[in-house]
């Protein structure tokens, strides 16, 4: 969470707020946490502001769909994959 927040020049707490104006960044953080940390969606939900695992799942699905259409988000994802370094879980 802190590495993703740092990439966007945000504080991790800004990605933990529900209506912070950083929905895509928050969803991308959840996707990267799922891919690179090995933790389950329920635990990710706890990290990002007490979100239910089903909401984490919906947001991850939404951000993957948006990444297919928007090059800006795809670029963010590729940059974060490089920063995180490890081979993604999926």
* Model pLDDT for residues 39-49, shown as the tens digit of each residue: 999 999 999 98
Render pLDDT for 73-83 as a digit per residue (tens, 0 to 9).
999 999 999 98
Q: Is the pLDDT of residue 34 over 70?
A: yes
- Cα–Cα dist 6/12, whole Å: 8
Decide which of 88 and 24 is more confident.
24
Question: Which structure tokens are listed for 61?
Answer: 């699905």
- Cα–Cα dist 90/87, whole Å: 9
Polymer length in residues for the chain: 90
pLDDT band (50, 70, 90) for residue 88:
low
pTM (2 d.p.): 0.86
Q: How many CB atoms lie within 10 A of CB 47?
A: 18
């Amino acid at each position: 969470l802190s590495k993703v927040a740092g990439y966007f020049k945000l504080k991790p707490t800004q990605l933990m707020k529900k209506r912070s104006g950083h929905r895509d960044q928050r969803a991308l953080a959840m996707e990267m946490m799922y891919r690179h940390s090995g933790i389950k969606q329920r635990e990710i939900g706890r990290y990002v502001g007490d979100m239910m695992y089903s909401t984490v799942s919906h947001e991850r699905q939404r951000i993957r769909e948006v990444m297919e259409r928007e090059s800006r988000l795809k670029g963010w994802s590729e940059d974060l994959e490089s920063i995180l370094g490890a081979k993604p879980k999926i």
